[in-house]
Amino acid sequence: MAKAVYVGVGSKARKMKKAYIGIGGKARKVKKMYIGVGGKARLCYSAELEKVGMATALSTARYDMRAATVGKYALFAGGLAPNPFFGENASSSVDAYNTSLTKSTPTELSCKRCGHAAASVGGYALFAGGASSYNFLGYGNILSSVDAYDASLTRSAAHIIGATAAIGGAAVGNYALFAGGTVYSQINKDNVTSDVLAYDPSLTFTTAPLLSVARANVKGASVGNYALFASGRANGFCTTVDAYNASLTRTTATALSSTKNNSAAATVGNHAIFVGNTASADIYDASLTKTSAAILSTARTGLAATTVGDYAIFSGGGVADFCDASLTRSSIGTSMTGYDMGAATIGDYALFAGGYSDEKSVTIYDSVEVYTA
């Protein structure tokens, strides 16, 4: 477990979350502190990423979940669960973990969802669109409903969208944005949409300028004053990156260096990081300047990503890679061997949940692994 230091503030013990020391006229972050005990150096403070262990399992084993945070909770909603007769079923389950990692099960989604999107705004976590089934033929019964959970985990209905699956979600300023998707079972250029839909903290609905290229499976991330929607698929995978500012003005950023199938994204410091297919990531700063760096230890797809403290974590396939705000990469042990997990951060903890094994021998997991910085 991470070590901690407390300081007295107003006659109360307050946990110190960050420590800095002056070196050469600059504030440098302290990652570890030691204290002498019995002639030995004992660790008393650590700000490095550590694996805590496993949290209480999901109520239902599943993958393709979407995760969002609201108040003191991280929510994992929907996804694909095992079907004892054939393939997988979409799920309406919602699992909530609080800042103490205590699990609860709020009211289920209003319908079973896979291929949906999630984003948070104000006091709400939103889960939008998707489909109620998926198999080798594609999505079935594409959905237009949007479920909103408040900080008390009460579910309500937000303004419906056009029936859309394989949507991307992100947030910027006072808006949760949902972008792109497919309006039919198969993803191709005739079925994808360029719509971008926005909700404010009162769940008032508006539309934003269209994506520059209609596509599904876009991946969303936020950095500075922008929400970015990168990659995606129409007839093939594309490298387009659209950026929306807090006024919902759209800018087309520099394209990805290569296509990223089933990509993942996370933000750390001044960087939005998009990974997938290759070990190299495309990285955008708050000015939308693009750089590249080797963020993954091995090239792979189907990853989940979230940020805790000063670390962005990319986990899947039995490997968890992470980087700090200086884009220094490292790896950390993981018990999660699956792909397409859900990931979210609540308080001091990053959670990775569910997933499935390789396609040759599909096992769907209910495990939840926890990291802290």
SS (H, E, C) the chain: CCCCCEEEECCEEEECCCCEEEECCEEEECCEEEEEECCEEEEEEECCCEEEEECCCCCCCCECCEEEEECCEEEEECCEEECCCCCEEEECCEEEEECCCCEECCCCCCCCEECCEEEEECCEEEEECCEEEEECCEEEEECCCEEEECCCCCEEEECCCCCCECCEEEEECCEEEEECCECCCCCCCCCECCCEEEECCCCCEEEECCCCCCCECCEEEEECCEEEEECCECCCECCCEEEEECCCCEEEECCCCCCCCCCEEEEECCEEEEEECEEEEEEECCCCCEEEEECCCCCCCCCEEEEECCEEEEEECCEEEEEECCCCEEEECCCCCCECCEEEEECCEEEEECCECCCCCCCECCCEEEEEC
pLDDT at position 2: 47
pLDDT, one tens digit per residue, over 36-62 is 788 777 666 656 899 999 999 999 999
Contacts (Cβ under 8 Å, ≥6 apart) of 223: 267, 270, 271, 272, 284, 285, 286
pLDDT at position 88: 75
- Give the pTM: 0.89
Distance CA 79, CA 60 (A): 10
pLDDT at position 45: 60
CATH architecture of 50-372: 6 Propeller (2.120)
pLDDT, one tens digit per residue, over 67-124 is 999 999 999 999 999 876 666 789 999 999 999 999 999 999 999 999 999 999 999 9
pLDDT at position 20: 75
Burial of 257 (0-12, 13-18, 19+ CB in 10 A): middle
Q: In order along the chain (373 residues), what is the average pLDDT of each group of 10 residues?
A: 64 70 75 75 72 97 97 98 76 98 98 97 98 89 97 97 96 98 90 97 98 97 98 93 98 96 94 96 98 96 96 96 96 93 98 86 91 94
Cα 90 to chain centroid, rounded: 20
183 in Cβ contact with 190 (< 8 Å) = no
In 10 A of CB 299, how many CB atoms?
12
In 10 A of CB 280, how many CB atoms?
15
- What are the extents of the domains in the chain? 6-46, 50-372
pLDDT at position 34: 74
pLDDT at position 86: 64
